[in-house]
A and B are shown apart, each in its own frame.
Chain A
Amino acid sequence: DAKTTQPPSMDCAEGRAANLPCNHSTISGNEYVYWYRQIHSQGPQYIIHGLKNNETNEMASLIITEDRKSSTLILPHATLRDTAVYYCIVRVVLSQKVTFGTGTKLQVIP
């Protein structure tokens, strides 16, 4: 699975959009981009995933660049409960392994 690079930490004001970047410049054509988050002392929570098209669900939007070398997770209206470590993962379709990097620690500020 390809390696990802994320900033170690970010702050976001409550109510504003949180934009979390992820670089995956070595991504292969059959690899999906997945995003998870982990709130302190809990198991990771699935957020969203995509291949090449932008995706949106009730939690977030995922924007993938045309060359697929980077992506951005957007939380449209961050709340204090969104404070967590966010992991960007790229994974071969139907691959069994998920490899976690160090993620981005998002702090939502009142």
Chain B
Amino acid sequence: GAVVSQHPSWVICKSGTSVKIECRSLDFQATTMFWYRQFPKQSLMLMATSNEGSKATYEQGVEKDKFLINHASLTLSTLTVTSAHPEDSSFYICSAEQAQTNTDTQYFGPGTRLTVL
């Protein structure tokens, strides 16, 4: 149980184009999903918190107009990188939170490798 998928697993795009990444919780409903970015040899950095049916909360320094997040259902959140540039090349990882008695556990997707040429 508690499986999170991401699609695509990797994508290469030209500079200036937009890329959409999907995150799905396959066997549980997630009211909250998270988007992280990870550069080579660095730790995960939280970009935004996404709650179903409401606007995402972005971390300081993350441009909300560049990284569009939609959480339309309890099992799907999308991240769209608009007008991508080479510096946006990174490993993007989502997670979904499964509510448990008195605690919450986040389960992570396998990640999406974005390369912008």
Residues on A facing B (Cβ under 8 Å):
32, 34, 36, 38, 41-46, 49, 51, 87, 93-103
Contacts and interface: CB of A to CB of B under 8 A. Distances in A.
Nearest to A98: B106
Contacts of A43: 4, 6, 93, 95, 108-111
B49 A93 contact: no
Contacts of B62: none
Given A41-B91, A46-B106, A46-B107, A96 B43 contact: no
Contacts of A42: 110-111
A96 B108 CA distance: 14
B44 A100 contact: yes
Interface of B: 2, 4, 6, 32, 34, 36, 43-46, 49, 91, 93, 95, 97, 102-111, 113
Contacts of B95: 43-44, 98
Question: Interface on chain B toward A: helix, strand, loop, or mixed SS?
Answer: strand
Most B CB within 10 A of own CB, among A34, A95, A100: A100
A75 to B, nearest CB: 19
A93 B102 contact: yes
Given A41-B91, A43-B93, A93-B103, A103 B108 contact: no
Nearest to B112: A43
B26 to A, nearest CB: 14
Contacts of B91: 41
A49 B104 CA distance: 10
Contacts of A101: 43
B104 to A, nearest CB: 6
Contacts of B34: 96, 98
